[in-house]
Amino acid sequence: MSVDATQPYDDRNIFAKILRGEIPCRKVYEDDFALAFHDINPQAPMHVLVIPKGAFVSWDDFSAKGTEAEIAGFVRAVGTVARDARLVAPGYRLLANAGTDSHQEVPHLHVHLFAGRPLGPMLVR
C-alpha cells in the first residue's frame, strides 16, 4: 500500500527495523547520517537504497524538518555511495518516491540509486 506522506513517522516501518538492526540488510555504506543497502527486489543491475538515520517519512518531511547537518550529511552520503561504486563516469539515476501518487511503499525517506545499464526513459510513457 502506498504511503500517506502527511502521516507522522511510524517507527514500526521496515527501514526503521533495519536501522535498529532488527532485520538484516546487505550494507553498502554507513556513516553518522545515512545507511545504504541493496534493494531486496532490484530493478537494475545495481539498485541501492540510501536512507537517512533520522526519523523522516519522506522528502517533504526531511526537507522541512531535517537539520542542516542531517541534510548535508545525507546528500553527501548519496554522492559517496555512487562515487565509491565508480558510477560517476557511466552514470546513474536517483529516485525518491514521496506519497501516494509516487507509490512510495516504505514510510521512511529513501533514495533509490539505479545503475549498471542504460536506464531508458525516466518514466513509463
Q: Which cell is 90 given?
A: 557511466
Which DSSP string do the residues of 104-118 spell out, in sequence order? --SSS--EEEEESS-
CB of 105 to ligand 5GP, least distance (A): 4
Torsion angles phi and psi, residue 113, rounded to 5:
-120, 115
**Active site (annotated) includes residue 110:** yes
Name residues contacting ligand 5GP, limited to 68-97 (CB under 6 A).
97
Contact in structure between 106 and 15 (CB atoms under 8 Å): yes
Q: Return the number of the residue (41 or 89) whose C-beta is nearest ligand 5GP.
A: 41
For residue 56, count CB atoms less than 10 angstroms from its CB and return exposed for 0-12, middle for 13-18, buried for 19 or more. buried
CB of 45 to ligand 5GP, least distance (A): 15
Smallest CA-to-CA distance from 23 within 108, 116, 115, 102 is with: 108
CB of 90 to ligand 5GP, least distance (A): 21
103 binds ligand 5GP (CB under 6 A): yes
- What string marks each residue from 26 to 45 as x (binds ligand 5GP by CB under 6 A) or -? -----------xxxxx----
Q: Return the number of the residue (63 or 67) whose C-beta is nearest ligand 5GP.
A: 63
Contact in structure between 94 and 113 (CB atoms under 8 Å): yes
Catalytic residue numbers read: 110
Residues engaged in binding ligand 5GP (CB under 6 A): 14, 23, 25, 37-41, 49, 97, 103-106
